[in-house]
A and B are shown apart, each in its own frame.
Chain A
Amino acid sequence: MMAETFILIPGRTSKQGCGISEGKFKEKYQSEIYTLQVSPADMERLGLEKGDMVRLQGEHGQVEVAVAPAKKDELPEGLLFIAYGEISSRLMGGDTHGTGMPTSKGMDVELEVLK
């Protein structure tokens, strides 16, 4: 399957927030930051099921994560969501464009299905 371009949005989830307090090395936090939410329509089109592995290649790095369908209409097609942390940070570049803030949301990524 050819890689497809998506827009990635890392962000806070309450599960990730709880995981920060409970311990970043524990399973709850680790599984949350490794799980990529994909719209149900994109999941179906790409032949993905929950738990399948995909590679996200960005301009500055790549990660391999497990997918899960987003609930109902929470995500439009073409958009991906992941709880922010050590995994999403690997896709951030060092350039902050003179602001101090690296581009951390709305990054273009190439998604490749690994299964």
Chain B
Amino acid sequence: MATAPTEAAQEQIKIVTDATCTFCGCVCDDIDLTVQDNRITEAKRACVLGKAWFFSHEIEDRPSCLIDGQPASLEEGYDRSAQILTEGRFPIIYGLSDSPCEAQRVAVSITDWIDGTIDTTTSVCHGPSGMAFQGVGEVTCTLGEVMNRGDMIMFWGSNPAESHPRHFTKYSLMPKGLFTPNGRKDRTCVIVDVRKTKSAKAADLFIQIKPRRDFEALWTLRALAKGVSLDAQEVERQTGVELAVWQDLMERMKACKFGVIFFGMGLTMTRGKHVNSEALLALTRDMNAFTRFVAKPNRGHGNVTGADNVVAWRTGYPFGVNHARGYPRFNPGEYTTSDTLARGEADCGMTIACDPMANFSQPAREHLASIPFIALDAQETPTTRAATVAFTVATYGINTGGTVYRMDDVPIPLRPAFDSPHPSDFEILSQIEMRVRQIQGVRA
């Protein structure tokens, strides 16, 4: 028979209200956590991904620092890290999407001191969209505006039911907003994808297009918006969808009061990449001749948007930034990490809150395994196992505070649940920065 917690146990239970979940870019900041014995036992309002995030991040029973796979002191780890970074001719720093802004800033500083290249996981996520923002521009708004005004909600190449489980309920489809008082009933949901994802069940209209034909489909809509006549057979051959379906969609888009297109990796990771994102952003811009329309990339990780912001503040560019000439230069394809590794250009590096040894191409992974690098992560991953120096860090948002950016560029504070004996990203990077400056002969 279960017994009620003893008084002593009751005293150990802590409730953290309005905690911030940083698994995905929704960055839900309304989670109530129950904390007992340095574990989170309940996460009210968290989705399945959030629950796994909160329940799984216990205090890792691992050394805070490993050098060549052997336990070492933090001091030794900091010294070795600074040595690696200052001895390289082409150092790279990569990752940052699961670190708070305060730590990201230090990473940029270190990159500057060592004339290195800094890149974030944006480059393998919405980096192509970042290029498209520069080329076309972004007509956008916050998620709060979507909730309050959006009556035509489109998802293109994005599957929020699996990647952002609270997206529909918290922001885009279900909530009752100022100008959408009837919630779902005030909205039309359109999903465009190459397969019928779990998200499609929520759609009023699901359009299945031919794989690798997103650009053609978006350009078809642009043509329809501008009144260009199209060959029906050619449209169907190119997109896999009848012209009449696109015509119907365009009429619905023109008739709405506030349209929103959320887009995802279905555009950025496939044939066309940044050109797909450009097409969608251009369509969004075109629609503003008829009604109000905005676009928003669905960002995958808790603070990848923060990384864009911080790197942009500090260097003028959002990702893939090289400092070898003493000033920042931006060139995706040249300074982005998939490339600097796959071409064998980087000769040392630091990975922060990311797992390139799991997620990069084989040539990139083989090269990373061959160079000395430092890895910072809250958990053991293929990347930490391959690192010369591996730091186990306290988990941001669970053990440490700081600031993160939601996918719509709204900054949100973290409300940690319990302490960790492991150091934070910020602490480790600050110590490494100090030693880098000492090696360079600058008084810290």
Count of chain A to chain B residue pairs whose CB atoms are closer than 8 Å in the complex = 162
Inter-chain CA distance A106–B273, complex, in Å, is 11
What is the number of residues of chain A that contact chain B, defined by CB distance less than 8 Å?
A: 43
| B residues in contact with A73, CB < 8 Å | 196
B83 within 8 A of A: no
**Known interface pairs A101-B123, A103-B269; 19 further A-B residue pairs with C-beta atoms within 8 A, sorted by A's residue number:** A14-B165, A23-B379, A24-B381, A24-B382, A60-B361, A74-B196, A86-B357, A89-B359, A89-B365, A92-B360, A93-B361, A98-B332, A99-B273, A100-B124, A100-B333, A101-B124, A101-B127, A105-B265, A106-B212
Tell me if B361 and A94 are in contact (CB < 8 A).
yes
| B residues in contact with A81, CB < 8 Å | 195
A51 within 8 A of B: no
Determine the residue in chain A with the shortest Cβ distance to B358. Answer: A86
- B-side residues, CB < 8 A to A, are 23-24, 48-49, 51-53, 55-57, 119, 123-124, 127-128, 131, 159, 161-163, 165, 194-198, 208, 211-212, 265-266, 268-271, 273-274, 300, 319-320, 332-333, 336-339, 342-343, 355, 357-365, 379-382
Tell me if A99 and B332 are in contact (CB < 8 A).
yes
| A residues in contact with B382, CB < 8 Å | 24, 86
Tell me if A12 and B163 are in contact (CB < 8 A).
yes
Tell me if A21 and B269 are in contact (CB < 8 A).
no
Determine the residue in chain B with the shortest Cβ distance to A13. Answer: B162
Inter-chain CA distance A13–B165, complex, in Å, is 11
Tell me if B333 and A98 are in contact (CB < 8 A).
yes
- Cβ 8 A contact of A18, one of B49, B128, B357: B49
- Cβ 8 A contact of A11, one of B159, B336, B358: B159
| 15 sample A-B contacts, Cβ–Cβ < 8 Å, listed by A number | A12-B265, A14-B161, A17-B52, A24-B355, A85-B358, A96-B338, A99-B273, A99-B333, A100-B123, A101-B128, A101-B269, A101-B332, A101-B338, A105-B266, A105-B269
Tell me if A104 and B56 are in contact (CB < 8 A).
no
A50 within 8 A of B: no
Determine the residue in chain A with the shortest Cβ distance to B357. Answer: A86
